[in-house]
Structure 1
């Protein structure tokens, strides 16, 4: 499956990480289910995917609020991340996005704009051997308002020294597309795992 890119030219490509560059969302969901199971907290798969791009601490706070729980945010954050790291050996890239990364590297600057922590993003990109292809990483904790607010993408454009209107965003969630649109950027939607079909 190849991605249909909007008309360019573009001065930079901005990529979401989980579910866009790396097919990590199923692994993240398994980690969430295990970590939350220890607190008897349900996390529906549909909700998980609709919240794609939301920082981990915000997800925990939202689940606490929804379920009337008081799960410790930092402790659960570290537990969930640890469970995800244990599964990194099973991590694969999203083929049609990796194709664009390899084809365009060196011709145009790249940034990763993620709701995951810098440590998680770095580990994921290292597993795929492509960390060195990205000029800038903008991760959770490095901006005050997460997606769907435009701030993360605008910050990436600023760090790359390019105008927002000249950036193309690769995203797999509606929340991420809304963020890109609010930043005045064009975007391309990467299919979710079930939309791509089993590989």
Structure 2
């Protein structure tokens, strides 16, 4: 098999260990504003666009409009990132290693503000030919919209792309876009077995992600 022309990364849980931060920030926000966090809330939130998760938190009883919820949570996330950027082990090296071999893109559920904060802080912005926030497409993950838009912006066919994902909804999204999916499961938030079954390859970490993994 020939090597893929492009590789599209997820951000949260793949390049930055943000899911624990998202959970902590959103849990606190819900509690402070009259809502009730449910046992399945974190798993349901993973992959949602900003508008989708803000509406969902509102449905949990948060006494604010979704737009206000989104603004408040994103401001707290940005503040946490400015204090400490929780990059995943091997993230910077993997991106730089692959950028010499393939066109890179990024398809993230994070808002544009946070994508830019992470990539600038990590010194990786110049490695990506295209970055997409699900704020910029009609539907969040598990819909394929973000991955399809990343491929379009890179000027490549989705079938010529490998996607690197960690979450259930992310794996489903990239697979639905027609990409070969490499799963790098997060140890604290493992994907559902049916979602993991969609993966072309499963890697133990980003250190194992190199040009050979794309062929």
Does TM-score exceed 0.5, indicating one fold?
yes
Query: 132, 142, 150: which is aligned to 2:136?
Result: 142
**Structure 2 residues not aligned, in runs of 5+:** 191-203, 205-215
Measure the CA separation in 2 of the matches of 1:16 and 1:164.
15
2:176 maps to 1:182? yes
With normalisation by structure 1, the TM-score equals 0.86
- Aligned mate of 2:127, from 120, 133, 137: 133
Q: 1:23 aligns with which of 17, 28, 33?
A: 17
1:41 aligns with 2:35: yes
Q: Name structure 1 gaps, 5 residues minimum.
A: 1-6
1:74 equivalent to 2:70? Answer no
CA distance in 1, matches of 2:117, 2:44: 24
**Conserved? CA contact 1:51–1:175, under 8 Å:** no
In 2 relative to 1, CA 129–51 (structure 1 residues): closer, same or farther, beyond 3 Å?
same
Work out which structure has the larger RCO, using CA pairs closer than 8 Å and 6 or more positions apart in sequence: 1
Return closer, same or farther for 1:166/1:124 CA change in 2, 3 Å cut-off. Answer: same
Compared with structure 1, are the counterparts of its residues 43 and 132 closer, same or farther at alpha carbon in structure 2 (3 Å cutoff)?
A: farther
Number of equivalences: 189
CA RMSD of aligned residues (A): 2.0
Measure, in 1, the Cα distance between the counterparts of 2:62 and 2:113.
27
User: 1:9: which partner in 2?
Assistant: 3
**Paired residue for 1:106, among 100, 104, 124?**
100
